[in-house]
Amino acid sequence: MRCDAMRWSESAAEARIMALSHRAHEPAISGYGVCARHRFPVPPRMIDHLICDCDGVLVDSEVIADRVMYETLSATFPGLDFEPIVKTAFGQQTSRFLEGIETAFGITLPADFLNAIEHNVELALAASLSPINGVRDALQRVTLPAAVVSNSRMSRVAASLRRAGLQQIFGERVFSAEQVARPKPFPDVYLFAAQTLGVDPSRCIVVEDSVAGLNAARAAGIKTIAFVGASHIPDGYADALRKMGITRIMQHMDELPALIDAGVRGEFGDVQS
């Protein structure tokens, strides 16, 4: 009796092993992964990388830079009102913005004006820069690798990330318009970042605060989320973005993880939305 039971047990074990071996060699459903334990279909991930602008997205720096810009311009040309145009500066490279100032007001800035602005901004940022509220926690909850792409100089971006305690999240994945021929709103820096990261632009999500940055990302073929929760954002800005066709608009950083999850699941529509 015992020998028969042992033979039955051995035969059953062999059959079980053969069945498992057969299953292991079954092809997966096309377009899906397969959960090894339960064999449930797992949809493919649609997004591989998160990319964030720095100023006005990770750190609340634009309001500081605007104040310094206004004060320095007003001290140099006391008879001119620079406040309205300075409010439109965010997202632009400082040198390009100052060229626009010269054209708009018909003035010639001193030769060292750009260096003076950059120096004054650095001093102000060192004294009072803070991260965007909730950004560190939001980034830690996102499951994708993250990079930074900025129009600012690399040294300023690195200093801002360090002051905000965010440098470990991004590591070496930091890119500046200094590295390409044209800054935002051209797509160059986003295309350069995607190429360096080894990821297709269509499989990235960008978080931007400025029209220039949003247009740059869209021109690169990257899906976008507009962040409108920084201190420099004017009233009515979100409505203006909607009129441009921007539909993914985020007021608070705690909204970021859910938005990224939706993108990963393929729930985002057209790149231009």
Q: Do 183 and 56 share a structural domain?
A: yes
The CATH number of residue 101's host domain is: 1.10.150
Q: Do 192 and 241 share a structural domain?
A: yes
User: Which pair of structure tokens corresponds to residue 39?
Assistant: 């064999």
169 is a domain residue: yes
177 is a domain residue: yes
User: Which pair of structure tokens corresponds to residue 222?
Assistant: 């990257």
Strands (E), the chain: 33-34, 41-42, 49-52, 146-150, 174-176, 204-208, 223-227, 249-250
201 is a domain residue: yes
Give the count of domains, the chain: 3
- Using CA atoms, how far apart are residues 225 and 194, in angstroms rounded to an integer? 17
| Alpha carbon separation from 104 to 77, 88, 107, 117, 212 (Å, rounded) | 14, 13, 8, 18, 19
184 is a domain residue: yes
- Using CA atoms, how far apart are residues 78 and 91, in angstroms rounded to an integer? 25
> Could you tell me the residue range of the domain that residue 17 belongs to?
2-42
Average pLDDT over residues 34-41: 46
Q: Is pTM, for the whole model, over 0.85?
A: no
273 is a domain residue: no
Q: What is the pLDDT of residue 34?
A: 40
- Using CA atoms, how far apart are residues 107 and 104, in angstroms rounded to an integer? 8
- Using CA atoms, how far apart are residues 47 and 263, in angstroms rounded to an integer? 6
pLDDT at 37 over 90: no
The CATH number of residue 184's host domain is: 3.40.50.1000
Q: Do 240 and 146 share a structural domain?
A: yes
Q: What is the pLDDT of residue 272?
A: 55
Q: Tens digit of pLDDT for each residue in 189-247?
A: 999 999 999 999 999 999 999 999 999 999 999 999 999 999 999 999 999 999 999 99
**Three-state DSSP class for residue 130:** coil
Confidence of residue 40 (pLDDT cuts 50, 70, 90): very low
Q: Do 248 and 152 share a structural domain?
A: yes
Q: Do 175 and 236 share a structural domain?
A: yes
Q: Tens digit of pLDDT for each residue in 104-149?
A: 999 999 999 999 999 999 999 999 999 999 999 999 999 999 999 9
Which position has the higher pLDDT, 89 or 220? 220
Q: Tens digit of pLDDT for each residue in 147-205?
A: 999 999 999 999 999 999 999 999 999 999 999 999 999 999 999 999 999 999 999 99
158 is a domain residue: yes
**Three-state DSSP class for residue 220:** coil
- Give the other-Cβ count within 10 Å of 84's Cβ: 7
DSSP state string for 177-214: GGGSSS-TTSSHHHHHHHHHHT--GGGEEEEESSHHHH
Task: Please give the distance of CA 88 from its chain centroid, rounded to a whole number.
Answer: 21
272 is a domain residue: no
Q: Where is average pLDDT lowest: 82-96, 194-208, 246-260? A: 82-96
Q: Where is average pLDDT lowest: 75-79, 85-89, 151-155, 250-254? A: 85-89
- Using CA atoms, how far apart are residues 132 and 61, in angstroms rounded to an integer? 9
Q: Do 144 and 228 share a structural domain?
A: yes
